[in-house]
Amino acid sequence: MKKFVFFLFMVSVVFSCSKKTHNEPDTSNKISFASDMECIDCWKNSNTLKPGIAHSGQYASKLDSATEYSYGFAQDFKNIDLKKINKVTVKVWGYFPEPDIKAQLVVSIDSANKSKNWYGFKLEDAIKTPKQWTEVNFPVFLPPTCLPGDVLKVYVWNRDKFTFFIDDLELVME
Ligand SMILES: [Ca+2]
């Protein structure tokens, strides 16, 4: 049975699915989501999770010539008090088997299945050394137009169809 790690903690901001584990005092405005990608059916595009090269455990999301979008996160804002959240920091680990790979870590805020705010971070700006797991850190300030019905999506866009790996995707909202 492959290990599935999904944890979120929240204080002062209520997420319906986190009530079972809510036992912290209301002293902080922070929500955290993380996945080590050791799961078969979780978040989005879990079909990209392959054993082999991985930063944690045995599995990572493999991008290749047939895979344009990585394993990713999608969650609507309806249970988040947007008045208390103004920034999302995305962390992910990337592994480029070869030099000169290009891809983008994307944070998208969608409304009615259309992206209304789109932020891209070039992985190659952080991952300079091939064959070495490297952490990528991408902070995004939420726009004032962000609404409770909007959906936050986070993924890697492999537009040019390179082969590489990502693992350990984490979001912190504060
Ligand atoms: Ca992993």
| DSSP, residue by residue, 86-143 | -EEEEEEEEE-SSSS---EEEEEEEETTEEEEEEEEEGGGT--STTS-EEEEEEEEPP
- Percent of the chain exceeding pLDDT 70 equals 84
The ranges assigned to domains in the chain are 6-173
Question: Which tokens belong to 39?
Answer: 């799961």
Residue 8 has pLDDT above 60, yes or no: no
Confidence of residue 14 (pLDDT cuts 50, 70, 90): very low
* Mean pLDDT value of segment 16-39: 62
Q: Does domain 6-173 have CATH number 2.60.120.260?
A: yes
- Cβ atoms of 153 and 83 within 8 Å: the answer is no
pLDDT digits over 98-129, tens only?
999 999 999 999 999 999 999 999 999 999 99
pLDDT confidence of residue 84 = 84
Confidence of residue 22 (pLDDT cuts 50, 70, 90): very low
pLDDT confidence of residue 42 = 83
Between 87 and 12, where is the model more confident? 87
Q: How far is the CA of 126 from the centre of ligand 1 (A)?
A: 20
- Least Cα distance to 14 among 85, 70, 65 occurs for 85
Q: How far is the CA of 60 from the centre of ligand 1 (A)?
A: 5
Q: How many CB atoms lie within 10 A of CB 4?
A: 13
Q: How far is the CA of 61 from the centre of ligand 1 (A)?
A: 8
Q: How far is the CA of 71 from the centre of ligand 1 (A)?
A: 11
- For the chain, give the mean pLDDT: 86
pLDDT confidence of residue 80 = 76
Q: How far is the CA of 125 from the centre of ligand 1 (A)?
A: 22
Which chain residues have CB less than 5 Å from ligand 1, an ion? 36-37, 54, 56-57, 59, 167
pLDDT digits over 52-88, tens only?
999 999 999 999 999 999 999 999 888 778 888 899 9
